[in-house]
């Protein structure tokens, strides 16, 4: 038990360190900017006086480490400063959209995870069958498609015929059922893309396990293949499968960016794309920090969970 | 009806690929014949598609009926004999832009992947060869950069440096080089402990000679397969960024932005804007098929040798 707690503490410490480094990279990337942020922002209107005034207003006259510290401490308290484009508080811009993005990602995950696990297990069970080959070819094709291609095919097929809306108009007063209906096409797009990856990885993990001697033993004593997979292979495959799920949930985080734009979904991804084209570095930094933290935290959770399901991994530390 | 055409097209393409494989086996020198004989049909199809793309990209000005940037008619014309795929929202010829897109989109993606590979693999091989603090510093730095999802990091860098073709190539290459570095380093780590490296060191050869003449030839097979996979990834990333309006900028013809500009047609049931997206998907599938075959061959050959 003590070893377990120590392991978790170690991983958490490593995670915090990673988060710190990520925040440093995101913050100091702006320092790479050729020239000065204030004069870039002002463009034509840059006179020495206006530049100096804007520098003071943005806190650019302070040394970089001090600015980093101020940025990080206020970001941790939920204050991301103001947008450079429209001077509105960034926290306000993000708040409404963060919930929508999390909703979309969870919706897609709820569809994709069971689907991918069932398909992956069946493909491993009926290895080299027609089903396995078809599932593999389908997965390889889906991986090769850009997300917007999948999205527009679904629009052409399902929205054209009027089954589902091709634009998502979610307002704060929408009921849960309405939201599920509205967000179905974006969620389905993400599901198709993620399921392909997840299914291939699940299949590989199960096939890897099926070569183990204890599976051979179970087979020799006359167990049915389905029972072998469910009772013997699956519990031992949990660690790799948890990893697969985490990697793909992390993939969903970046996948939402394109899909949100296609369906005009009011989420963080769309805000980020808008801000990139306006070169609103403050907003982009804040959203990048949120996405990157979610990514790091997901990987950390997967790491801890898979170690818990497989005590042998612990000694590797 | 459309589905029937699609199915027929796929069957016809595979049939043509089988014929070409036959022809290649007759013409190829003897030492290649065994490799060609066990080439699966999917790989033959992939190679055929890649060859067609290269041909279209290099002969674009000859094949395209209209210039890339010229407005030649009214907006959103339907398919006709004069404008095979109609015109786009500014009245430019869609078919010509699709053909020029092969040059721009694929060319830029290829240049980016090549740059990422040169930088990433040289640094990776160098780190594995030298070891010690150089390896540690580079590897920890790459680890830190890889903790940020690549699309998010690219978007951040594009905000800072602005969107032009040059910054696009440099930013994506820099982000992708971290992934190449990891692979190259882990491949090279198995090689640098070999006796022939030690022998070359004792002969007094420098790092550059060791990388170029001793390590690179032995690391080439896995790196080539990786090049295919990374190309697919870079190609999809650049297309996505162009689709978002942050990648290749107008008036250059590019498949990603062509989809975005004409997307309104899709809601009217017109499939024209899907064609550039399909062109992206087809090339990625083709490269994946060839890489699959190469990986399978590499593992098969290894088993025979071991």
Structure tokens at B14: 């595979």
Question: Lowest-pLDDT range, A200-204, A245-249, A313-317, B248-252?
Answer: A313-317
Put simply, whether A314 touches B (Cβ < 8 Å) is: no
**β-strand partners of B87:** B93
A&B contacts, CB < 8 Å: 132
Position B117 pLDDT exceeds 90:
yes
Report yes or no: A271 and A97 within 8 Å, Cβ to Cβ: yes
CB interface of A with B, residues 154-183, below 8 Å = 155-156, 159-160, 166
CB interface of A with B, residues 7-36, below 8 Å = 18, 21-22, 25-26, 29-30, 32-34
Contact B285 A147 (CB under 8 A): no
> A136-171: per-residue pLDDT in tens?
888 888 888 888 998 888 888 887 777 777 777 777
Position A44 pLDDT exceeds 50:
yes
Q: For residue B268, give how far its alpha carbon lies from the nearest alpha carbon of chain A (Å).
A: 7
Contact B153 A288 (CB under 8 A): yes
Contact A145 B232 (CB under 8 A): no
Task: Decide: pTM greater than 0.90.
Answer: no
What pLDDT is stored for residue B232 in this prediction? Answer: 92
Higher pLDDT, B55 or A246: B55
Put simply, whether A272 touches B (Cβ < 8 Å) is: yes
Position B131 pLDDT exceeds 50:
yes
Which residues does chain A have within 8 Å of residue B144's beta carbon, measured at their own beta carbons? Answer: 18, 21-22, 25
Q: Which of B159, B246, B277 sits opposite A149 (nearest CB)?
A: B277
What pLDDT is stored for residue A36 in this prediction? Answer: 65
Which residues does chain B have within 8 Å of residue A250's beta carbon, measured at their own beta carbons? Answer: 149
Put simply, whether A101 touches B (Cβ < 8 Å) is: no
Position B34 pLDDT exceeds 60:
yes
Average pLDDT over chain B reads 85
| CA pair distance A283, B40, nearest whole angstrom | 50
What pLDDT is stored for residue B302 in this prediction? Answer: 45
Please give the average per-residue pLDDT across B275-295, as a whole number.
89
Question: Lowest-pLDDT range, A11-15, A250-254, B56-60, B281-285?
Answer: A250-254
Contact A140 B288 (CB under 8 A): yes
Q: Which of B149, B267, B285 sits opposite A254 (nearest CB)?
A: B149
Put simply, whether B281 touches A (Cβ < 8 Å) is: yes
What pLDDT is stored for residue B111 in this prediction? Answer: 95
Position B1 pLDDT exceeds 60:
no
Q: For residue A30, give how far its alpha carbon lies from the nearest alpha carbon of chain B (Å).
A: 6
Confidence of residue B180 (pLDDT cuts 50, 70, 90): very high
Please give the average per-residue pLDDT across A256-261, as a whole number.
90
What pLDDT is stored for residue B293 in this prediction? Answer: 83
Question: Lowest-pLDDT range, A15-19, A81-85, A210-214, B227-231?
Answer: A81-85
Task: Give B278's contacts (C-beta < 8 A, 6+ positions apart).
Answer: A149
Position B29 pLDDT exceeds 80:
no
Position A198 pLDDT exceeds 90:
no
Please give the average per-residue pLDDT across A116-135, as a whole number.
86
| CA pair distance B154, B174, nearest whole angstrom | 9
Q: For chain B, give the DSSP string.
A: -HHHHHHHHHHHHHHHHHHHHHHHHHHS-HHHHHHHHT--HHHHHHHHHHHHHHHHHHTHHHH-SS-SS-B-SSTT----SSSTT-B-TTSBBHHHHHHHHIIIIIHHHHHHHHHHHHHHHHHHHHHHHH-HHHHHHHHHHHHHHHTS-HHHHHHHHHHHH-S-HHHHHHHHHHHHHHHHHHHHHHHHHHHHTSHHHHHHHHTT--HHHIIIIIIHHHHHHHHHHHHHHHHHHHHHHHHHHHHTTSSSPTTS--HHHHHHHTGGGGGGT--TTHHHHHHHHHHHHHHHHHHHHHHHHHHHHHHHH-
| CA pair distance B32, A296, nearest whole angstrom | 47
Contact B232 A279 (CB under 8 A): no
Q: Which of B150, B243, B246 sits opposite A277 (nearest CB)?
A: B246
What is this model's ipTM?
0.84
Selection from A290, A306, A301 nearest residue A102 by Cα: A290
What pLDDT is stored for residue B172 in this prediction? Answer: 94
Query: Which three-class secondary structure state does DSSP give residue A82?
Result: strand
CB interface of A with B, residues 39-78, below 8 Å = none
Q: For residue A70, give how far its alpha carbon lies from the nearest alpha carbon of chain B (Å).
A: 20
In total, chain B counts a number of residues equal to 306
Which residues does chain A have within 8 Å of residue B232's beta carbon, measured at their own beta carbons? Answer: 144
For chain A, give the percent of residues with pLDDT over 90: 8
What pLDDT is stored for residue B304 in this prediction? Answer: 43
Say which residue the tokens 């091989």 belong to.
B125
């Amino acid at each position: 038990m003590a070893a377990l707690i120590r392991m978790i503490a170690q991983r958490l410490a490593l995670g915090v360190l990673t988060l710190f480094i990520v925040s440093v990279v995101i913050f100091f990337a702006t320092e790479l900017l050729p020239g000065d942020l204030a004069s870039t922002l002002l463009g034509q209107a840059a006179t020495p006086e206006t530049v100096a005034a804007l520098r003071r207003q943005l806190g650019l006259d302070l040394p970089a480490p001090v600015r980093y510290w101020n940025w990080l401490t206020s970001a941790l308290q939920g204050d991301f400063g103001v947008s450079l484009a429209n001077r509105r508080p960034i926290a306000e811009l993000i708040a409404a959209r963060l919930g929508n993005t999390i909703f979309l990602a969870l919706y897609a995950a709820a569809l994709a995870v069971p689907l991918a696990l069932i398909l992956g297990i069946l493909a491993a069970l009926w290895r080299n069958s027609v089903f396995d080959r078809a599932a593999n070819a389908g997965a390889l094709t889906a991986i090769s498609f850009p997300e917007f291609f999948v999205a527009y095919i679904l629009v052409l097929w399902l929205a054209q015929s009027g089954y589902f809306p091709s634009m998502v108009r979610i307002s704060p007063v929408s009921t849960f059922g309405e939201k599920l209906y509205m967000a179905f096409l974006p969620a389905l797009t993400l599901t198709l893309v993620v399921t392909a990856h997840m299914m291939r990885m699940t299949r590989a993990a199960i096939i890897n396990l099926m070569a183990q001697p204890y599976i051979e033993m179970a087979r020799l004593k006359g167990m049915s293949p389905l029972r072998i997979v469910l009772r013997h292979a699956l519990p031992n495959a949990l660690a790799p499968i948890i990893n697969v799920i985490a990697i793909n949930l992390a993939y969903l985080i970046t996948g939402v960016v394109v899909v949100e734009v296609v369906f005009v979904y009011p989420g963080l991804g769309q805000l980020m794309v808008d801000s990139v084209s306006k070169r609103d570095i403050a907003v982009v930094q804040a959203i990048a920090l949120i996405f990157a933290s979610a990514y790091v935290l997901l990987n950390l959770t997967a790491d801890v969970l898979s170690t818990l399901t497989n005590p042998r991994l612990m000694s590797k530390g | 009806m459309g589905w029937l055409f699609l199915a027929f097209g796929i069957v016809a393409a595979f049939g043509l690929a089988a014929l070409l494989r036959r022809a290649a086996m007759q013409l190829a020198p003897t030492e290649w014949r065994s490799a060609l004989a066990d080439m699966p049909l999917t790989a033959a199809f992939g190679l055929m598609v890649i060859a067609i793309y290269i041909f279209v990209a290099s002969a674009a000005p000859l094949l395209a009926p209209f210039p890339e940037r010229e407005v030649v008619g009214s907006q959103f014309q339907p398919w006709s004999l004069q404008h095979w795929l109609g015109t786009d929202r500014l009245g430019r010829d869609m078919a010509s832009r699709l053909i020029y897109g092969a040059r721009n989109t694929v060319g830029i993606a290829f240049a980016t992947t090549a740059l990422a590979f040169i930088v990433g693999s040289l640094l990776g091989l160098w780190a594995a060869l030298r070891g010690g603090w150089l390896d540690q510093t580079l590897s920890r730095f790459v680890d830190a950069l890889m903790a940020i999802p690549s699309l998010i990091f690219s978007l951040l860098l594009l905000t800072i440096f602005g969107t032009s073709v040059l910054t696009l190539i440099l930013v994506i290459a820099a982000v992708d080089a971290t992934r190449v570095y990891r692979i190259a380093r882990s491949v090279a780590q198995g090689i640098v402990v070999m006796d022939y490296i030690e022998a070359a060191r004792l002969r007094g050869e420098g790092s550059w000679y060791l990388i170029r003449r001793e390590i690179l030839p032995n690391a080439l097979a896995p790196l080539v397969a990786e090049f295919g996979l990374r190309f697919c990834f870079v190609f999809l990333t650049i297309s996505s960024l162009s689709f978002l309006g942050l990648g290749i900028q107008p008036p250059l013809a590019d498949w990603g932005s062509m989809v975005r500009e004409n997307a309104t047609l899709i809601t009217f049931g017109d499939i024209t804007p899907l064609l550039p997206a399909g062109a992206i998907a087809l090339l990625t599938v083709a490269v994946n098929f060839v890489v699959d075959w190469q990986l399978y061959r590499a593992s098969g050959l290894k088993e025979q040798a071991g």
